[in-house]
Structure 1
């Protein structure tokens, strides 16, 4: 791995600031419940979940900095970390536990109870945290200049914009408002198609793309090189 010894955290280790506080834990847990329930419903309906990290970062910044008038980026980071965990646990549960219900429908077992589902999700969450602790130094600290982590980068930019305040913080909410309006026009009013497709009649196939700002934002964060890898991988996966 390419170890970069110049890695410096935004908050120095010797600087002591509020981080794991009662406020950050309570707000984070509430967001985790909301995003977890929403993603569980969405995932079971359409087969995919949506990221909760970036919305949680925006909400945490709004609550901690704007409503509570506290200038604590570490508290906001804890809120978005706990809040996004609900989406991760929901995804892990809804993509695996339905198999138990299918087995039960075939007479190969019994439907799992609420306690059993809770224990499975709890064990999965604990295992994820325990495995991430030793991997953090290898994958994040040593490879921070190599692996872009677009979602984490976006969350960090949101929190840093809130920390700096002024025009940077307003840009975050303007972007959030624009995305909401765009989403309403495309999916709510259906005035603009959400996908653009082109059919190759001679090949009996079709190529298309979605026009959501979120996809453009991710492409901007990861850069043209990695975006091209993802594009070629998607094209290869669908065609072959």
Structure 2
């Protein structure tokens, strides 16, 4: 299915069963997830391509650090912790929320004394306190389009007025051209695990202005940017 055909099918709603299949996929993928991030194995595309990947990661990390996040920090959909260690450096306390215990078992920050770990379904979870900072990494592209506004509404409820927000995700060229991607249709993508099994996940690529508008509608002033090739990221704060 080409991009135009996929966009035409994107109105089809994602079912609860598909969301459960996505969670099961990440539970199974936990031991191999970091190979993607560190460009190992089938994700190693050679020195020059890898150099660009890591340079763009550094670009986003520098943008995050320049905003001086602090205080009580909430990270959603934390996974194996590719960004958790950086967030913990900035935080007084860090609360991490993920639906996969298997992913969290690979996350090094969960053993730290100022880290609170919550295993919960982010589609139904509600915060029990307000936070100074909220972040989510490589998560919103796994949200159904019909749930994007609800997610940002929940994020807004998590933040104190003036609290800061950060996210990073794939650009489409990065999210569709990896070796484990078998195909895409509508809001879903088929991926392959190292053991050869196939799984269907949700995968959407939201426009910068689309994200900014939805965030603004729930009281978050968010500025979305892109690195030259691989990543989309956003920085902002709750205004009301």
TM-score (norm: length of structure 2): 0.24
TM-score (norm: length of structure 1): 0.24
